[in-house]
Amino acid sequence: MNHDSTTQYEPLRQAVRHYVTEEVIPLEREHGLTWNIAPPKDLRRKVRLRAKELGLYAPEMPEAVGGAGLPFLGRCIMEMELHSHDTVFFEDVLGGGGGPTPILLAGTRAQQDRFLAPLMAGETTTCFALSEPDAGSDASNLRTRAVPAEGGFVVDGTKNIVSNGPQADFGIVFAMAMGADGPAGVTALLIDSTAPGYDNSRSHTCMGFTGFQGEIALIDVRVGADAVLGEVGRGFALAMDWINANRIRTAAMATGIARRALARSSAYAMQRRQFGAPIASFQAIQLKLAEMATELYAAESIVTRSAWMKDEGQDIRQVSAMTKLYASEMVNRHAYEAVQIHGGIGCLEETGIERIYRMVRILTILEGTSEMMRLTVADRLLKAAPR
């Protein structure tokens, strides 16, 4: 990996910055949108369609399905830029949770035409419905069942804390469709949210971003055999492939937010005066900023390196866990210090700092908790250790 690997994406990074600052943030101001509630569906669609027009939407998807075929590294650089700005449309600019997902590349031609093509066009959104009330870290221990019936399946179960669940046009739903328990029994099904028995009306009031996560209740939902993505019993492998890559993307998100926390904290430290001097002149504040800058540099470095490793086709299972663990824990430390540097007004909604503090808390939990990241790292480390 050399310096040019990242600098070649500079025009795209600038294009993200321009779109977000000149069009997306003004749009949310015009509509008075706040972080307390997920933005309305029609405005999210508008942001996606314009992003598509600008060539920013789902850029890492292959050209064969309408993407730009950009390396994952390019996507992560764009992702870091996106999150260094404060926008409620953060899931729509590049196509994040609910946008086009490589997991659908496992689909048949017919499935890609029906589900992937409108996603790529920015017209629809989806959701990744794996977690259940009794299956979180133990993600293959699912209770949702897909029982074979009349050339297809009848699906019953409940999914919860599903990102974009309440607004998704269809769900990528993971269910047990075979006799086998555990990973070998998990099957991915593509289910239209308008299917009878599919109820996504219950959204969660969630820390950071209310209305975006929700529950999906599946009551006697009938699907054809053509709803199976890939093969019966291959769903867990598909899910994990996607999650491993997405952990790096989540780390890029954490890193972008950390850039924002640091930029705002240093600007505020220069401007805020106490005891007759800017607080930036106090070493206590300088040490915090220096620590943040150093850790931010480390996070940027591992995000870009891990993304590059994915592009090189290397095994990323361990590094994606390390990257997500480091970046998500790092941004939580930085959010804490950003509030501290801002003092009392850091706790007020108007500064945007308390929002960072609330928003980043979810990052050490989704796509695997920090504890599970450490276990993944240790597992691979010890498997490779001499016996």
Ligand X SMILES: Cc1cc2nc3c(=O)[nH]c(=O)nc-3n(C[C@H](O)[C@H](O)[C@H](O)COP(=O)(O)OP(=O)(O)OC[C@H]3O[C@@H](n4cnc5c(N)ncnc54)[C@H](O)[C@@H]3O)c2cc1C
Chain residues binding ligand X by CB under 6 A are 97, 127-131, 136-137, 161-163, 206, 213, 362, 365-366, 368-369, 371-372, 375
Which of 288, 324 has the CB closer to ligand X? 324
Which of 6, 126 has the CB closer to ligand X? 126
In eight-state DSSP terms, residue 333 is H
Instruction: Say how far apart CA 364 and CA 386 lie, in whole Å.
Output: 31
Minimum Å gap between C-beta 318 and ligand X is 17
Minimum Å gap between C-beta 98 and ligand X is 9
Which of 128, 153 has the CB closer to ligand X? 128
Closest C-alpha among 308, 346, 328, 198 to residue 252: 328
Which of 206, 377 has the CB closer to ligand X? 206
Which of 300, 367 has the CB closer to ligand X? 367
Q: Which of 91, 300, 367, 371 is catalytic?
A: 367
Instruction: Say how far apart CA 56 and CA 67 lie, in whole Å.
Output: 9
Q: Output the CA–CA distances (angstroms, integers) from residue 174 to 30, 141, 160, 228, in the order listed.
A: 39, 11, 12, 10
Give long-range contacts, CB 8 A cutoff, 24+ apart: 304-308. Answer: 304/1, 304/5, 304/6, 304/73, 304/76, 304/77, 305/1, 306/248, 306/251, 307/71, 307/72, 307/73, 307/75, 307/76, 307/248, 307/252, 308/1, 308/5, 308/71, 308/73
Minimum Å gap between C-beta 144 and ligand X is 11
Minimum Å gap between C-beta 165 and ligand X is 7
Closest C-alpha among 217, 221, 213 to residue 199: 217
Minimum Å gap between C-beta 59 and ligand X is 21
Which of 207, 298 has the CB closer to ligand X? 207
Q: Are 213 and 203 in contact (CB under 8 A)?
A: yes
Tokens of 273: 């005066």
Which of 19, 357 has the CB closer to ligand X? 357
Minimum Å gap between C-beta 319 and ligand X is 19
SS3 content of the chain, % helix, strand, coil (to 5): 55, 15, 30
Q: Output the CA–CA distances (angstroms, integers) from residue 250 to 74, 91, 356, in the order listed.
A: 14, 12, 15
Minimum Å gap between C-beta 49 and ligand X is 23
Q: Are 98 and 91 in contact (CB under 8 A)?
A: yes
Minimal CB distance to ligand X: which residue? 136
Strands 213-224 and 126-129: unpaired
Largest CA distance in the chain: 79
Annotation marks residue 367 as catalytic:
yes
User: Which residues carry out catalysis?
Assistant: 367
